[in-house]
Amino acid sequence: MMTQIVSAIGVMVAGVFACALYYWLSDKLLAAVLPVPDNNVRLASQNLNRRAAIRPWLFLGPALILLAVYLVYPVIATFILSFYDRSGGTFVGFANYRWAFFDAQFRQSIFNNILWLAVVPAACTFFGLVIAVLTDRIWWGNIAKSLIFMPMAISFVGASVIWKFIYEFRGGKETQIGLLNAIVQAIGGDPQVWISLPFWNSFFLMAILIWIQTGFAMVILSAALRGIPEETIEAAVIDGASGWQIFWKIMVPQIWGTIAVVWTTITILVLKVFDIVLTMTNGQWNTMVLANLMFDWMFRGGGDSGRSAVIALVIMAAVTPIMIWNIRQANKETGGH
């Protein structure tokens, strides 16, 4: 263990040093290859221009290589693999797509993903907005925000253990040690095995993600609420608007943009949700979602890259509209300067 720590630190230092060395050496090399002599003004200015043309690519090089190898190439390769058989050797046309269309588990996953998409972003945004409005009004609001924001730092696996303990079920006459069942029992209900409850079990898994992500929505929306010009609210107060009207008719319309950002960000996260389902149910009891089905097919029976690729592409297709919208927004911003 000690040697591992030492070698990890060693590699870390070496890695950072190698990175720094690359940038430093490439800069020196550029200066050596394209010299700027004092006695030849024409060559000097020519070489300065050449340096200026090459240098950006030296700076960008490592980043572009990483992006190309780990993101751009795989996206293209996954697309191609979706038309090949399980080992990627034989072209099978649309067979994998046809399989997906008729596969019961795939349809179940699509259904569950839609359910997650319908519930989680809406719930997080709603709770986040309500909590942001409430906490902005009290002196210990920042402490409250910190506590609600904290689950954001907890891994999905850790959160799953935390919630599995809450959903814990004890059979027979044993004392219920899971909080939810203890509460249900205290108010006179029957304890349940929540994570295998047909249909509703997915909602108990969603609760975990809502618990984690509400803090994120709250932080962003709270910042947006603070950016609302005071005058608009003052004017509404003078006109005799009620608190409810002010909230829905004055405040919410002014932060629509931010609500959209929060909503789409959580939407992307939900499409990729994997850890929670893996640790809570591993897709049993009809809780399978696309990311887990994809992982499953990557390794099931030695792995089926074709089917797995199709499932990945479905997730990709779902985020594509958001991706295009983001690029448009970014172009608008950078186009201005």
User: 201 to 220, contacts with another protein by CB under 8 A?
Assistant: 211, 214, 216, 219-220
Task: Tell me which residue has tokens 């550029």.
Answer: 30
199/331 with CB nearer another protein: 331
Site size for another protein (CB under 8 A): 122
Contact between 106 and another protein by CB under 8 A: the answer reads no
Q: How far apart are CA 215 and CA 221, in angstroms?
A: 10
Tally of CA atoms within 13 A in the half-sphere of 214 that contains its CB: 21
* Region of 303 on the Ramachandran plot (φ > 0 left; ψ -120 to 50 alpha; else beta): left
- Which of 126, 196, 261, 285 contacts another protein by CB under 8 A? 261
Q: How far apart are CA 211 and CA 131, in angstroms?
A: 13
Contact between 264 and another protein by CB under 8 A: the answer reads yes
Q: How far is the CB of 283 from another protein (least distance, A)?
A: 14
Q: How far apart are CA 245 and CA 105, in angstroms?
A: 46
Contact between 322 and another protein by CB under 8 A: the answer reads yes
Q: How far is the CB of 203 from another protein (least distance, A)?
A: 16
Using the contact rule CB under 8 A, the part of the chain among 100-108, 188-196, 197-205, 233-241 near another protein is 233-241
3-state SS class at 314? helix
Judge whether 218 and 131 are in contact, CB under 8 Å: yes
Q: How far is the CB of 40 from another protein (least distance, A)?
A: 18
**Taking the mean position of all CA atoms in its chain, how far away is CA 121?**
12
Return the H-helix or E-strand segment holding 130.
helix 104-135
Interface with another protein in residues 36-95 (CB under 8 A): 52-53, 55-57, 59-60, 62-64, 66-67, 69-75, 77-78, 81, 88
194/211 with CB nearer another protein: 211
- Which of 29, 43, 118, 323 contacts another protein by CB under 8 A? 323
How many CB atoms neighbour CB 214 within 10 A? 26
- Which of 89, 239, 244, 302 contacts another protein by CB under 8 A? 244
Contact between 114 and another protein by CB under 8 A: the answer reads no
Identify which of 316, 315, 318, 293 has the alpha carbon closest to the alpha carbon of residue 304.
Answer: 293
Interface with another protein in residues 133-172 (CB under 8 A): 133-135, 137-138, 141, 144, 146-166, 168
Using the contact rule CB under 8 A, the part of the chain among 92-100, 110-118, 191-199, 259-267 near another protein is 259-267
Using the contact rule CB under 8 A, the part of the chain among 98-106, 107-115, 196-204, 322-330 near another protein is 322-330
- Residue 301, CA distances (Å) to 103, 287, 298 in order: 17, 21, 9
Backbone angles phi, psi at 84, to 5 degrees: -115, 170
Q: How far is the CB of 269 from another protein (least distance, A)?
A: 4
Query: Greatest CA span in the chain, whole angstroms?
Result: 96
